[in-house]
Protein backbone atom coordinates (compact mmCIF):
# COMPACT_ATOMS: atom_id res chain seq x y z
CA UNK A 1 0.00 0.00 0.00
CA UNK A 2 2.86 2.36 0.79
CA UNK A 3 4.33 1.77 -2.67
CA UNK A 4 1.03 2.75 -4.28
CA UNK A 5 0.90 5.90 -2.17
CA UNK A 6 4.48 6.82 -3.09
CA UNK A 7 3.75 6.23 -6.79
CA UNK A 8 0.63 8.37 -6.62
CA UNK A 9 2.54 11.18 -4.92
CA UNK A 10 5.31 11.15 -7.51
CA UNK A 11 2.79 11.06 -10.36
CA UNK A 12 0.84 13.96 -8.89
CA UNK A 13 4.10 15.92 -8.45
CA UNK A 14 4.99 15.36 -12.12
CA UNK A 15 1.52 16.49 -13.20
CA UNK A 16 1.72 19.59 -11.02
CA UNK A 17 5.15 20.53 -12.37
CA UNK A 18 4.10 20.04 -15.99
CA UNK A 19 0.58 21.46 -15.72
CA UNK A 20 1.63 24.83 -17.12
CA UNK A 21 3.25 23.14 -20.13
CA UNK A 22 0.14 21.05 -20.77
CA UNK A 23 -2.05 24.15 -20.55
CA UNK A 24 0.30 25.99 -22.91
CA UNK A 25 0.05 23.19 -25.50
CA UNK A 26 -3.73 22.95 -25.06
CA UNK A 27 -4.08 26.71 -25.58
CA UNK A 28 -2.04 26.59 -28.80
CA UNK A 29 -4.06 23.63 -30.11
CA UNK A 30 -7.33 25.39 -29.28
CA UNK A 31 -6.16 28.60 -30.97
CA UNK A 32 -5.08 26.75 -34.11
CA UNK A 33 -8.35 24.81 -34.20
CA UNK A 34 -10.36 27.98 -33.72
CA UNK A 35 -8.41 29.75 -36.44
CA UNK A 36 -8.95 26.85 -38.83
CA UNK A 37 -12.66 26.83 -38.02
CA UNK A 38 -12.98 30.58 -38.59
CA UNK A 39 -10.98 30.26 -41.80
CA UNK A 40 -13.36 27.59 -43.06
CA UNK A 41 -16.33 29.85 -42.35
CA UNK A 42 -15.01 32.76 -44.38
CA UNK A 43 -13.67 30.74 -47.28
∠ CA 32-37-35, rounded to 5° = 35
Q: What is the DSSP string of 7-43?
A: HHHHHHHHHHHHHHHHHHHHHHHHHHHHHHHHHHH--
pLDDT for 34 equals 96
Residue 26 sits in which domain range? 19-43
In a domain, 29, yes or no: yes
In a domain, 1, yes or no: no
Whether residue 7 is contained in a domain is answered as no
Give the model confidence (pLDDT) of 1-43 as tens digits.
666 666 677 778 788 888 888 899 999 999 999 999 999 998 7
Examine residue 14 and state whether it is found in any structural domain, yes or no. no
Asked if the structure places residue 40 within a domain, the reply is yes
Give the number of domains in the chain: 1
What pLDDT was estimated at residue 1? Answer: 64
**Cα–Cα dist 14/3, whole Å:** 17
Is there a domain that residue 5 lies in?
A: no
pLDDT at 20: 84
Residue 10 lies in a domain: no
Distance in angstroms between the alpha carbons of the first and the last residue of the chain: 58
Q: Note the pLDDT of residue 31.
A: 98
Amino acid sequence: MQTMTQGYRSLSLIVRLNLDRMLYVATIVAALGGGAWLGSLFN
